Structure formats: C-alpha cells, structure tokens
Amino acid sequence: MTDTVTFKIKRQDSKSSSSYWETFTIPYVPNSNVISCLMDIQANPINAKGEEVTPVVWESNCLEEVCGTCTMVINGKVRQSCSALVDQLEKPIKLEPMSKFPLVRDLVVDRTRMFSALKKVQAWVNADGYHDLGPGGRLSQEHQETAYKLSECMTCGCCVEACPQYSSGNNFLGAAAISQSRLFNMHPTAKNMAGERLDTLMQEGGIADCGNAQNCVEACPKSIPLTESIAEMGRQVSDKLWHNIFKA
Amino acid sequence: MDSHFLARRIHSLTGIVPVGLFLVYHLYLQLYLHSGAEVYNKVINGFYDSPLAIWALVIVVYIPLFFHAFFGIRLIFESSVQPSYTYFSHLLFWLQRISGIGVLLFIIAHVWNAQLGPWIAGTWGTHFEHLSSGFSDPDSGMITKAVYLLGTLGAVFHFSNGLNTFCMTWGIALTPKSQIRVRIFSIFLFFILAASALYALSAIW
C-alpha cells in the first residue's frame, strides 16, 4: 500500500450557495506542496467517498511566495499555499478560503478591498508629467533598508485575515495599506502627498481602527515590521493632529 | 480628520490622563488604610473638604471615565474573534476588553458601596469603619472581598496594558525593540500597582 495524504477542503460552489467540507485522499509525493496536491486533485477529482466531483478551484501564480495570490487558511492559519510544504503540515490538511473577503468559489476570494485601500492611501509615486525630472536625491543605506523591507508587501491578505479589527462589517484599511502609506510617505518624491495620505488615515476606517492585537506582524509571511509601520504612522497622524489643533 | 478618529484618540488619551493618573492617586490614598481609622478618615474627608472636590471628581474623573467606558464598550463590538491566532499580544488584546467590562461593573458597585450608599444612608465621614465592616460582614463579606480583589487587579491590568498600547497608538514606541521595552515597563508597572493595591486591601482584610 502506498502512502497517501488526506485533505479536508471547505468548498462553496458559488457566491450565494452554502459551504460544505469535502475530503480528498491522494497519493503522497515527497517534497510536495499544497498547490501541487491541489493540481493532483484537479487532475483526478474523486473525493474520499469515491464520487467524481467538480475540481477544487484555487488561485495561484508565482509559486515562490512573492505574488500573494494563493493565500488561504491552512490548518487554521492564513499563509501562502505554494510555500506550505506537505511534509511539514499536520495531517489531515485542512484548507479554507480567507474569511475576510467576499468568496468567489471554493478557495478563491475577491481581494479588491485590499487594492481599494492602496488607492485610498495613494500608494504610489506621484508624477505630474512625463518630462525628465533628473536624477533623484541620494538615499542613505538606512533609508534603503527600511524601504526595501516595506516594499516586499505583496498585498496577500494575511495581515488582515488574522486581524480582529478587520471585518466585512467595517471599512478598516488594514495593516498592509497603513504600512504602504509609510513606505510612500518616506519616498523623496511621493512624500509630497504625505498630508493627503495622513488625511485618509485620520478618517473612519483609518489607523484609529487598529486595536493593537498585533496578529498582523505575526501572520505576515514576509516578516514586514507592520507594528512598527502602524506606530510610525500613529506618530505622523499625532503630529498632524497637533498641527490641526494648534497650527492650522 | 473625522469625529471617529478624534473619538478614538480621546478614548486613548482619557485612559491615561486623567483616569489612569487618578487611579494611581487613588491607590496611593488607600495606603492610608494602614494608618488606622482616624488618619484614614481625616485624609479622605480632607479631600472632600475642598469646595472644588465634587467638581474635580465630576470633571476630572466621572466625565472622562464615562466617555472612556461607553466608547470602549462600543469598540468591543467592532472586534471579531480569531481563536486560531494564539499570540501573547492577541491574548492581551482580549484581556484588555474583558477587563474593561469587569472594571466598569466594579466601578459602579464601588461608587455605590463607598460613595453614594453612605451619602444616602447619612453615614458619610466614617469611611474606614464603613469599608472594614463591609469586608467583615458575615453574610456578604466574602463576596465584597472577592469583588474588590478582582476589580482592583482588573483596573491595574487595564491601566498598565493600556499604557503599553497608548505608546503604540500615539507613535511614542516606534520600533519593535522600543515596543518590548514599553511592554516590560508596563509589566513592572502592573506588579508595582498590584502590590500597592493588595497591600492597601490587606489592612482591612
């Protein structure tokens, strides 16, 4: 008898239908990850009862934990499924879609809210034309190291999935967008819009909705210092509050 | 800047100034329980002798406390339970909310027991005798003691942990290292205030 791996997958056929758990048992392959196992299930979609079912739907792209697309809840914790190695996971392996986003189908969710949050905080370098602006100013090594770490964010959704303050009932921007507003507020050109970013953070759903549970920094697969970013933006909005009261 | 942001910041601030500072002052005054009935009553009545005492209490304590408490209760309902993420900070996050409700109930009982009750009954002024007889009552003494023990420890925890999150919210403790320093300080503060509160209570236990 060959070794097998059992998956318990939380499935849902459409946005409006109800969810159900389905078990799949597939042959064990050394060094496999959750995505390669999902591919095996897709190739041979027969559940543990021996019934042929519709293949499980999931999203993935880069397969090297830099795109964030394949994020799902594996054995109760949110992470990327491409870097979830079967050998290191407790069996049976439980797969669920992220709970904080509108569900599309099976393991696929719609993360539009995260990208809307990036738009709200203007997470980009603003340019007012196509003309040559010349070389930028020299940045210190320290600045580069801080900014590089923040730029590793792939908007995967782990931080907000683990956050007790982020829910479908509110419009909290979440740790990722707050951290990106820090990244662009320290950029020599993008910081021209720093005030507008702070205005967004000082509105409903902004930084004040953070409850300091600090799950975000624990859940972040790229080890981005999210609580440092939240504290730094907390300081910037404190300055802005002081300015609004005494200097404006 | 909208009213929600301002309310959250005022909620954060009132927890430390003035309510938190009042808690420290209040715990300090209770150490006089060890000086006996005469001195304790003199100290407490001395505070109330001031013509501003009642105004100071209302403006410095009751109004900020009511705002902090009722806005805080509203905040609890904004949070969703995430049981699979068992991190220490996450545990503190929920303890802060649970202790907040507990401390609010304790404060209501405490104000009734130590302030409004004696006022209405006309036994105002003999604070020491009132507290110690409540603690040694054969029927309700054990319950009163348990409520005071849990309530004071809850208040001390809520303040110490609140100071820690205050430093993050306002951007005082920026880096992970400084956040650990502030956390260690808040743990020390918890033990010092808890020891002070327990020592004060031991005088009439």
pLDDT 10s digits, A28-85: 999 999 999 999 999 999 999 999 999 999 999 999 999 999 999 999 999 999 999 9
Mean pLDDT value across chain A? 96
Cβ–Cβ of B1/A238 closer than 8 Å?
no
Q: What is the CA radius of gyration of chain B?
A: 18
Q: Which domains does chain A have, with CATH numbers?
A: 4-109 (3.10.20.30), 112-126+140-246 (1.10.1060.10)
Closest chain B C-alpha to A178 CA, distance in angstroms: 13
Cβ–Cβ of A234/B1 closer than 8 Å?
no
pLDDT over 70 for what percent of chain A? Answer: 99
Tokens representing A63 are: 């397969």
In tens, the pLDDT along A82-129 reads: 999 999 999 999 999 999 999 999 999 999 999 999 999 999 998 888
Q: Can you list the positions of beta strands (E) in chain B?
A: none
Cβ–Cβ of B172/A235 closer than 8 Å?
yes
Question: For residue B160, what pLDDT is reported?
Answer: 98
| Contact A76/B at CB under 8 A | yes
Tokens representing B173 are: 């403790």
Residue of chain A with shortest Cα separation from B89? A213
Question: For residue A134, what pLDDT is reported?
Answer: 83
Helix or strand or coil: residue A79?
strand
Q: Which of A75, A146, A196, A214 to mutate to test the interface with B (most CBs of B within 10 A)?
A: A214
Q: What does the angle CA A229 – CA B12 – CA B114 come to, to the nearest 5 degrees?
A: 150
Closest chain A C-alpha to B18 CA, distance in angstroms: 19
Residue of chain B with shortest Cα separation from A215? B90
Helix or strand or coil: residue A151?
helix
Predicted-complex ipTM score: 0.93
Closest CA to A58 of A116, A9, A3: A9
Mean pLDDT value across chain B? 95
Chain A residue numbers touching B8 (CB-CB < 8 A): 208-209
Alpha helices, DSSP H only, in A20-102? 34-43
In this model, does residue A2 exceed pLDDT 80? Answer: no
Cβ–Cβ of A202/B84 closer than 8 Å?
no
Closest CA to A192 of A117, A241, A125, A131: A125
In tens, the pLDDT along B105-129 reads: 999 999 999 999 999 998 899 999 9
Contacts 24+ apart (CB under 8 A), A134-141: A136/A188, A136/A189, A137/A188, A139/A188
Give residue A135's pLDDT band: very low, low, confident or very high (50, 70, 90): confident
Helix or strand or coil: residue B194?
helix
Question: For residue A225, what pLDDT is reported?
Answer: 97
Tokens representing B61 are: 């304590």
Question: For residue A55, what pLDDT is reported?
Answer: 96
| Contact A185/B at CB under 8 A | no
| Contact A206/B at CB under 8 A | yes
Q: Which domains does chain B have, with CATH numbers?
A: 3-202 (1.20.1300.10)
Residue of chain B with shortest Cα separation from A199? B1
Residue of chain B with shortest Cα separation from A161? B82
In tens, the pLDDT along B126-166 reads: 999 999 999 999 999 999 999 999 999 999 999 999 999 99
In this model, does residue A165 exceed pLDDT 80? Answer: yes
Chain A residue numbers touching B176 (CB-CB < 8 A): 225, 227-228
